[in-house]
Amino acid sequence: MEITRLFDFPYYQLEKFNLSDALNTKKDGVWVATSTQEYIDQANAISRGLLRLGVQPNDKIAVISMTNRTEWNICDIGILQLGAQNVPIYPTISEEDYAYVLNHSESKYVFVSCNEVRDKVMSIKDKVPSLIEVYSFEDIDNCKNWSEVLELGADTSNQSEVDALKAAVTTKDLATLIYTSGTTGRPKGVMLSHENIVSNALASAYRLPLAETGMRALSFLPVCHIYERMLMYLYQYKGVSIFFAESLETISDNLKEVKPQVMTAVPRLLEKVYDKIIAKGAALTGVKKKLFFWAVDLGLKYEPYGQNGWWYEKQLALARKLIFSKWKEGLGGNLDLIASGSAALQPRLARIFNAAEMGIMEGYGLTETSPVCSVNDMRDGGFRIGTVGKLLPGVEVKIAEDGEILVKGPNVMIGYYKDQEKTEEVLKNGYFHTGDIGHIDEDGFLKITDRKKEMFKTSGGKYVAPQLLENRFKQSRFIEQIMVIGEGQKMPAALIQPNFEFLEEWAKMKNISYSNLDELLASERVQDRYQQEVTEANETFAKWEKIKAFRLTHDAWTVEGGHLTPTMKLKRKIIRENYIHLYNDIYDL
């Protein structure tokens, strides 16, 4: 069958694979499998139930879940089959943003995962006139359960109405509104059609080497973002069984239980995994420690396709057997493919994980491009470290005079919901203006260098690309987060959030006594150590780019604290405002 709409994916899976464990969620300590047939049957029941609740084509239904889970996917298909739109909302945004998104989208019903989300919705329900009812996936007091919608749809007598509405949905129709977290201002509702996401999933299938039998994926990146969601449809298309991690804290345990072959990740998570591995190696002694860091040094020199020569490959084979096999075992033992996106990946991580035979394939895209524009692929020479790979089939990119990446293709959004002005700002002559700066090399590999809006000029007229510097500085185990500053100032500088856990371990090892964190951060030895890290990282950059001064922040930068977007990007304006005293101190303001 031909797939033209998002709800075609499970039906295609039924026809081709008919999995017994299409979707898997852990409940009360046991993995509960939902077959492809059960997935479709329950999605149809949701469709019938929603129809009886009065849902019509183009109505908006919000789904807000703290974790990825089977129920989310069932509701997704059930909503889409009616020609209605799924509005996924990131669960930890503020109540004010909940009210804004629900009002802006005019959502009629909301499915929530748990009590925490339900409480936030109920606190603003009176401010959302369109909202009729809230249903919960979990059993909680004073809230209707999603099973009531399933029961309402148990009577199949209106299935013919569902089938008629399904048949009326075209590939060009709106499928979803995804509200971008945004580093400034109100979230924008990105309108993505069935064609946008379907075309992206099918094109990505050419690049991700997924076998069509017996593969398992572990899913934990928020499915309310288009990156993980598109991969969900891709997994269904390729017959991959999807297992939903219980939480970010249980990923390590879930990897060992599920033993997946594939998962998605963001660079920050991979950095943390790498740091933990290195910390374990540093705790070894004698020959074991020497052997461990010999393998690490070897891995950090990795180049694909045997470019380092036969002697390197021979050593690498030994390192894989003695050291890297244990790393892989710690992540379940079968993990062959990690699709990395959302932010720039440090080249050292691409090298070390690929050396360890856990192939990180970095890609590039935005919510507005559904999301993938390009991605690396180990096959046929399609992998180059430091790039985001070659363009997907059907995606066209041209580089503007100022270096901005412009994208054209079936994956480019319809526009921003109820915002023609902002739509026209970014969609010009059929091209989406990404706001990212980059270039395509002679072999067709795309390289991203920075965000157009984040580049700044010093008072000396020199351009500084903060992301390039930040990515290099975060290689330090002492640095958890860093924001490069200096627009209009005489020099670049940085606000640094220390890796508090590692710093305290280091202080203990160095016998540095302190009574509180403030005292530790102010100590001369700590300041000197950070200066050493800054000096070392600075060596990579030109004179005008080097960080000339820095200040350490005394608290962690978090999504909840407003420092970071849900996809872990810096909210630069807010961070600067929060630490304006440090900024003023650096520049003697």
- 284-340 residue pLDDT tens: 999 999 999 999 999 999 999 999 999 999 999 999 999 999 999 999 999 999 999
User: Measured between alpha carbons, how far is 259 from 266 in angstroms, rounded to an integer?
Assistant: 19
pLDDT value of position 468: 83
Residue with tokens 């909202």: 131
- pTM to 2 decimal places: 0.87
Domains of the chain: 8-169+208-262 (3.40.50.12780), 456-586 (3.30.300.30)
Sort strands 23-27 and 30-34 into parallel, antiparallel or unpaired.
antiparallel
Three-state SS at 268: helix
Residue 545 in this model has a pLDDT that exceeds 70? yes
User: Measured between alpha carbons, how far is 405 from 234 in angstroms, rounded to an integer?
Assistant: 26
Count of CB atoms within 10 A of residue 100's CB?
A: 18
Residue 280 in this model has a pLDDT that exceeds 60? yes
pLDDT value of position 181: 67
Angle at 417 between CA 414 and CA 421, to 5 degrees: 90
* Average pLDDT over every residue of 180-198: 85
Provide the 8-state DSSP code for 188. Answer: P
Count, residues in the chain: 589
Of 58-67, 238-247, 564-573, the one with minimum mean pLDDT is 564-573
User: Measured between alpha carbons, how far is 43 from 52 in angstroms, rounded to an integer?
Assistant: 14
Query: Who has greater pLDDT, 449 or 138?
Result: 138
Helices (H), 218-346: 226-237, 251-258, 267-282, 286-299, 310-319, 325-330
> Based on C-alpha coordinates, what's the Rg of the chain?
25
Residues ≥6 apart with Cβ < 8 Å to 317? none
Amino acid 400 reads A
Buried b (16+ CB within 10 A) or exposed e, 41-71: ebbbbbbbbbbebebeeebbbbbbbbbbbbb
Amino acid 462 reads K
* Average pLDDT over every residue of 367-393: 96
pLDDT value of position 182: 57
Residue 346 in this model has a pLDDT that exceeds 90? no
Residue with tokens 């050292």: 348
User: Which among 164, 236, 224 has a CA at the least distance from the CA of 7?
Assistant: 236
* Alpha-carbon torsion (438, 430, 363, 226), positive or negative: positive
Contact 9, 237 (CB under 8 A): yes
Tell me: the pLDDT tens digits for 196-227?
Answer: 999 999 999 999 988 777 899 999 999 999 99
pLDDT value of position 184: 54
User: Measured between alpha carbons, how far is 236 from 231 in angstroms, rounded to an integer?
Assistant: 9
- Name the percent of the chain lying above pLDDT 90: 81
pLDDT value of position 115: 94
**Secondary-structure breakdown of the chain: helix, strand, coil percentages, each rounded to the nearest 5:** 40, 20, 35
Q: What are phi and psi of 468, to 5 degrees?
A: -60, -45
User: Measured between alpha carbons, how far is 483 from 183 in angstroms, rounded to an integer?
Assistant: 14
Three-state SS at 171: coil
* Average pLDDT over every residue of 428-457: 90
pLDDT value of position 449: 84
Provide the 8-state DSSP code for 246. Answer: S
pLDDT value of position 343: 79
User: Which among 186, 77, 82 has a CA at the least distance from the CA of 422?
Assistant: 186
Helices (H), 462-516: 466-473, 500-509
Average pLDDT across the chain, whole number: 93
Amino acid 209 reads P
Helices (H), 418-460: 420-426
